[in-house]
Amino acid sequence: MESGEVVEKKFLRPIDNTSIVQQVIDRLTYAMIYKELRPGDKLPTEMELAASFGVGRNSIREAIKILVSFGVLDIRRPEGTFVASGFSDKMINPLLYGIILDQSDSIDSLKELREWVDFGILELAMEKAEPEDIFQLKEQLEELLEAIDGGDAENVFRADDDFHEAISTAAHNSLLAQIAKLVRTLTSEMRMNTIRNMLNIGKARELKQAHEDLFNIIERKNDESARKLLVEGYFYKYNILRK
């Protein structure tokens, strides 16, 4: 390609009039999937996009507004609109709302998703945890054990969340860490009920032991009983999901 030659972008071809805003969103999304638009790239102006797509500027503006709300695009005034670089919590929201609003009984699906994601992170943490990760995880474990001794369910919940966040960090996989964060959000009520009920039925020692064992598995990189320990650590055998 000679210097200064303009390469025609496939995503800039005109689109039809059916669901215009959604088609603009789809066109920009596919452009990112197929690397016509990359993280940090500046988009053409609204006027240029409207002319290329053959649609009104209002449709372009609405589509951009939606993608900005998803954390996919970033408006930098006065420079223009850019493809986002890296993750944003806003990217999780559409999937989160979709699951929340699902009318089916999803508790069993959430339990299975939690087990699958947690075990994947645990395996990676055993494989990839660095000494500083183990140190941080040990600190979070000590805070969690102290919170359990204190007996306040909300404090235990926060400390438990920090402990599992430290495991996600030790896995050194940003994509999986984001999924794990989503799963923790979706199962927050389930996890709070677990903690509250375990404390109420006098099982604080078991709650502490499960997290100590989980730490030891990561520190010693011993995966022989990892999945069994993980599932037992949810304490379903105590019917903790029953209110």
41 domain-assigned: yes
Residues 68 and 175 in one domain: no
Q: Give the three-class secondary structure for 74.
A: strand
pLDDT of 73 > 80? The answer is yes
Higher-confidence position of 57 and 186: 57
Q: What is the pTM of this model?
A: 0.67
> Confidence class of residue 55 from pLDDT cuts 50, 70 and 90?
very high
**If pLDDT is split at 50, 70 and 90, which confidence band does 1 have?**
very low
Domain count for the chain, please give it. Answer: 2
Query: Which of residues 73, 88, 103 is at a domain's end?
Result: 88
18 and 105 belong to one structural domain: no
Between 73 and 115, the higher pLDDT residue: 73
Show which of 88, 123, 141 is a domain's final residue. 88
- Compute the average pLDDT of residues 7-24: 72
Beta carbons within 8 Å of 74's beta carbon, 6+ residues apart: 68, 81, 82, 83, 84
CA distance 98 to 136: 34
Cis omega (within 30 of 0) for bond into 39? no
Which domain range does residue 54 map to?
Answer: 10-88
pLDDT at 16 > cutoff 50:
yes
**Cα–chain center distance at 126:** 20
Report the 10 Å Cβ neighbour count for 18. Answer: 7
Average pLDDT of the chain, as a whole number: 85
What value does the mean pLDDT take over residues 56-65? Answer: 94
Residues 68 and 97 in one domain: no
CATH number assigned to the domain comprising residue 39: 1.10.10.10
| 148-189 pLDDT tens trace | 999 999 999 999 999 999 999 999 998 888 888 888 888 888
Q: Are residues 46 and 156 in the same domain?
A: no
What is the structure's pLDDT at 208?
A: 94
Q: How many CB atoms lie within 10 A of CB 234?
A: 19
For residue 77, the SS3 value is coil
CA distance 166 to 92: 20
> Do residues 174 and 83 share a domain?
no
Query: In terms of domains, do 67 and 115 share one?
Result: no
Q: Are residues 233 and 121 part of one domain?
A: yes
Identify whether 28 is part of a domain.
Answer: yes
Each residue of 76-95: pLDDT tens digit? 988 999 999 877 767 766 66
User: Has residue 106 been placed in a domain?
Assistant: yes
When pLDDT is cut at 50, 70 and 90, the band that residue 3 belongs to is: very low
Q: What type of residue sits at position 37?
A: L
In a domain, residue 121? The reply is yes
Residue 98: what residue type?
G
